[in-house]
Amino acid sequence: MDIMLVGGVSPMMRKLSLKLYKEGHKIYVLSGSRNPSNHFEYAFERYDFPYDNASVEEVFRSVKPDVTILLGAFDGNLSGEDPKREAIQYAAGLQNILLSWSALEKGRLIYLSSAEVYGSSYQIPVTEAVRPVPRGIRPLMLFQGEESCRFYQVQLKKDVVILRLDRLHEVPKDRREADLGICERKCLDAFQDSTVTYRSNYKYGLTYMGDAVESIYKLVSCERHKYGLYHISSSEAYSELQIADAIEKYLGKELEKIDNTLEDQKSVILSHERLKEEFGFEIWCEPEETIRKTLQYMEKHSGRFLDSSHPGWDIWHRIYFKTIDFLGALVPYIENLILFIPFFMLNNRATGSQYFSKIDFYLIYVLLFAVVHGQRQATFSALLAIAGYLFRQMYNQSGLTVVTDYNTYVWIAEIFIVGLVVGYMKDQLRFMQEEKEQEMDFLSERVTDIGDINDSNLRVKEGLITQVVNYDYSLGTVYDLAEQLEKDHPSKILFHAITLIRDVMDCQDVALYRISDEKYARFFGYTSAKAGSMGHTVYLPDKEPLYEAFSRREVYLNRTMNPEYPMMAYCIYEEEKMETIILLWSIPFERMTIDESNRLIVISKLIQKAVKRSSDYLDLLQKQRYQDESPALREEAFEELISTYHEAGEKNLTEYYLLRVVSAASGMEKAAGIIAERLYQTDYIGYRNDGNLYILLTSTDESGCGFVQKNLEQTGIHTVISEEMGL
């Protein structure tokens, strides 16, 4: 196939070109730059035109590629020195490329984007269905590129594929390439200074570049594909601390690891399930292997990664670099001496010439070095010119006559005045240029800072917008909703509270636990399987982060994004005892704020008020609800309780089992007491309208139910699962 690669020199361009060349394809390169020094080793033909050049259309018309690959995020022309200017130029050039390609009515176009377009943090691998929220100039530029390609894909029905690649790792060849990757950059820092910084709450989906190239080639060579967007990633999370530990391991010496962890968490790992399902995906190289090879390569080719001033060089390397620096400083003087010879000869020949005797070649010589090198070289060249002038004058006159000649001093003054003034002007122009560049660098940094501040302001604005949009769930409205709990039947209050929390907190994964025996949390209800992932019974001291927050009566916030814990949690106290725990599992990281914490606390307090009211009410009716001195509930109270759990079970808010007592060796009258001793505080015993004794096992699965039945059989009590039981 004829394949057009659009992009500058970069590691991705090199790897992709090599892969396509080995597979026997003919490669054409649109470099996007007029720099002839750029080397594309495997290109059959290269075209050095900027992307917005009118000749790009002629290039596509001439090549007629079967596949066009836009390197996008991996384009070597995007150096990042001036992001705003590069973004504007690239956007204009991309439109020109897409228009030129679409005019062919032939071939497939592949655009390489990056995980950079996701500006937020995500708890789980990000699928293609999640729309990016870019933060910053470069991510916004890449996302706009995606949208431009998507227009041709959706509106014009072109064969366009967008590939988002996760963070790549590869052995770098020099310092410039080492700055392109996270692993490589930290390897370089450790190799140079034996220091590596890390943020423990930053995680990346590191992917080997070779694996990414193999996946790209599958999209290049396939006849058809199901989707227009794919993620290429290992889908394995690596933290910066893991990278730092691996570098220390393979470098073979102890590093100074600096913890720069901030409160803001960053975790973006792309999901490769779509690509893997359709084309397959294999991991051939782990980040640890790349780190090992990178450090070995840096030690073998240290000159490519360390500058001459680095203190780690041995004495011979230091002498070598000092010699190179000294010779570099001598070059202008040597150049001055060499060029003095032809000017000296020209001046000697011109002295006796009718036509050239009026030309002052020494003045030209001094001006030349003043204009090129400045005042210092102008002074040196003036001294050489004076020596040459005096030497030439002594051909016909004595030295004393030349030295005492008035014209000699006038000429010397002329040479020095002109040379030094021009040299001074040259130095001033150079100084102004350097000052301008420094000011531009400073202003560029300020623009970057302003952009970061603007991004922060946008997040604050979005948060305020969310609060306005969610005004229906303001504290006053929450109070009104909680007041509805007052009207519920006492047995239904907590189930209603679960749905209330789900709606008000805008969290689909909510779980509620009741405290049993002070340190055990017993499952009560949930809104999803994820919300119940912690289990039916939890020993709180084992969950140290949760237990510490609950002991301080604070809202627990999972800022480390530990998947074993909920994102937010709060414990409701009754006097000095823990009573109820609320767990929220799917709150986005950006919503883990003081505002959300306060909202959860207020909701919990209002729920506590309603529960306390219902508890007091049930205590007053205890004699009417229970059968004499037995722990068994009377028919009416037990039927209401079963009805409540049946309704909650149909709404998928809880699990329960209803057991009917068939026989008891000690008799039915004593059976209730024996059963009560072997049940949790959250389970119930009672009589139904048919006169039989029943057991209601709340928040229990099949294995838990079987355990209770076996335990009761040991005491001579036999039970069966009620036929009316519905799950």
Q: Which CATH class is domain 171-205+237-304?
A: alpha beta
Q: Which CATH class is domain 1-165?
A: alpha beta
**The predicted structure's pLDDT at residue 615:** 61
The pLDDT of 462-483, averaged and rounded, is: 55
- Answer yes or no: is pLDDT of 312 > 60: no
Using a 10 angstrom Cβ sphere, with 0-12 exposed, 13-18 middle and 19 or more buried, the burial of residue 683 is buried
- Answer yes or no: is pLDDT of 486 > 70: no
Lowest mean pLDDT among 54-63, 390-399, 418-427, 714-723: 390-399
Lowest mean pLDDT among 106-115, 173-182, 208-217: 173-182
The pLDDT of 63-80, averaged and rounded, is: 89
The pLDDT of 103-125, averaged and rounded, is: 87
Residue bearing the bigger pLDDT, 474 or 392: 392
**The predicted structure's pLDDT at residue 535:** 80
Q: Which of 109-118, 235-244, 293-302, 338-347 has the highest mean pLDDT?
A: 109-118
Run of H or E residues at 295 = helix 287-300
- What pLDDT band is residue 261 in, cutting at 50, 70 and 90? confident
Lowest mean pLDDT among 111-120, 455-464, 616-625, 718-727: 616-625
Please name which of 702, 606, 637, 272 lies closest in space to residue 489, comparing C-alpha atoms: 637
Residue bearing the bigger pLDDT, 726 or 87: 87
Lowest mean pLDDT among 4-18, 332-346, 392-406: 392-406
The pLDDT of 198-208, averaged and rounded, is: 85
Tokens of 482: 């909680």
**The predicted structure's pLDDT at residue 200:** 79
Percent of the chain with pLDDT over 90: 11
Residue bearing the bigger pLDDT, 213 or 689: 213
How many CA atoms are closer than 13 Å to the CA of 153, on its beta-carbon side?
18
**pLDDT tens digit sequence for 141-155:** 999 999 999 999 888
Tokens of 161: 């594929």
Lowest mean pLDDT among 147-156, 436-445, 453-462, 599-608: 453-462
**The predicted structure's pLDDT at residue 302:** 76
Other beta carbons within 10 angstroms of residue 214's beta carbon come to 18
Q: What is the DSSP string of 85-97?
A: HHHHHHHHHHHHH
Percent of the chain with pLDDT over 70: 83
Tokens of 249: 């391991």
Cβ 224 vs Cβ 198: under 8 Å? no
Which 8-state DSSP code applies to residue 630? Answer: S
- Answer yes or no: is pLDDT of 134 > 70: yes
Question: Which residues make beta-bridge pairs with 165?
Answer: 114, 232
Architecture per CATH, 624-721: 2-Layer Sandwich (3.30)
**The predicted structure's pLDDT at residue 620:** 46
What does pLDDT average to over the chain? 80
**The predicted structure's pLDDT at residue 284:** 86
CA 231 to chain centroid: 14
CA-CA distance, 262 to 15, in Å (whole number)? Answer: 36
Residue 42's φ and ψ, nearest 5 degrees, are: -105, 15
CA-CA distance, 112 to 95, in Å (whole number)? Answer: 15
CA-CA distance, 133 to 164, in Å (whole number)? Answer: 14
Please name which of 612, 601, 697 lies closest in space to residue 656, comparing C-alpha atoms: 697
**The predicted structure's pLDDT at residue 350:** 67
- What pLDDT band is residue 464 in, cutting at 50, 70 and 90? low
- Answer yes or no: is pLDDT of 617 > 60: no
Q: What is the DSSP string of 65-76?
A: -SEEEE-GGG-T
- Answer yes or no: is pLDDT of 139 > 50: yes
Beta strands 510-516 and 520-526: pairing type? antiparallel
The pLDDT of 260-279, averaged and rounded, is: 82
Counting every residue, how long is the chain? 727
How many CA atoms are closer than 13 Å to the CA of 228, on its beta-carbon side?
15
Which 8-state DSSP code applies to residue 590? Answer: G
Amino acid, res. 340? F
Amino acid, res. 630? S
CA-CA distance, 384 to 362, in Å (whole number)? Answer: 9
- What pLDDT band is residue 621 in, cutting at 50, 70 and 90? very low
Question: Which residues make beta-bridge pairs with 664?
Answer: 717
**pLDDT tens digit sequence for 438-453:** 887 777 767 766 766 6
3-class DSSP state for residue 506? coil
- What pLDDT band is residue 95 in, cutting at 50, 70 and 90? very high
Tokens of 264: 């803001």
CATH topology identical between 1-165 and 474-620: no
Sequence spans of domains, the chain: 1-165, 171-205+237-304, 315-435, 474-620, 624-721
- Answer yes or no: is pLDDT of 726 > 50: no
Torsion over CA of 49, 51, 53 and 57, rounded to 10 degrees?
A: 90
Burial 37-74 (b: 16+ CB within 10 A, else e): ebebebbeebbebbbbbeebbebbeebebebbbbbbbb
Question: Which residues make beta-bridge pairs with 721?
Answer: 659
**The predicted structure's pLDDT at residue 70:** 93
- What pLDDT band is residue 489 in, cutting at 50, 70 and 90? low
**The predicted structure's pLDDT at residue 220:** 92
**pLDDT tens digit sequence for 545-588:** 888 888 888 888 887 777 788 888 998 887 778 888 888 888 87
- Answer yes or no: is pLDDT of 487 > 80: no
Query: 661: Cβ–Cβ under 8 A, 6 or more apart, which residues?
Result: 668, 671, 675, 692, 693, 694, 695, 717, 718, 719
CA-CA distance, 350 to 358, in Å (whole number)? Answer: 8
**The predicted structure's pLDDT at residue 469:** 47
CA-CA distance, 362 to 189, in Å (whole number)? Answer: 52
Cβ 211 vs Cβ 283: under 8 Å? yes
CA-CA distance, 461 to 456, in Å (whole number)? Answer: 9
- What residue has token string 């990346």? 204
- Answer yes or no: is pLDDT of 727 > 50: no
Lowest mean pLDDT among 209-213, 607-611, 703-707: 607-611
**The predicted structure's pLDDT at residue 130:** 85
Tokens of 140: 């916004």
Question: Which residues make beta-bridge pairs with 686?
Answer: 633, 694
The CATH number of the structural domain formed by 474-620 is 3.30.450.40
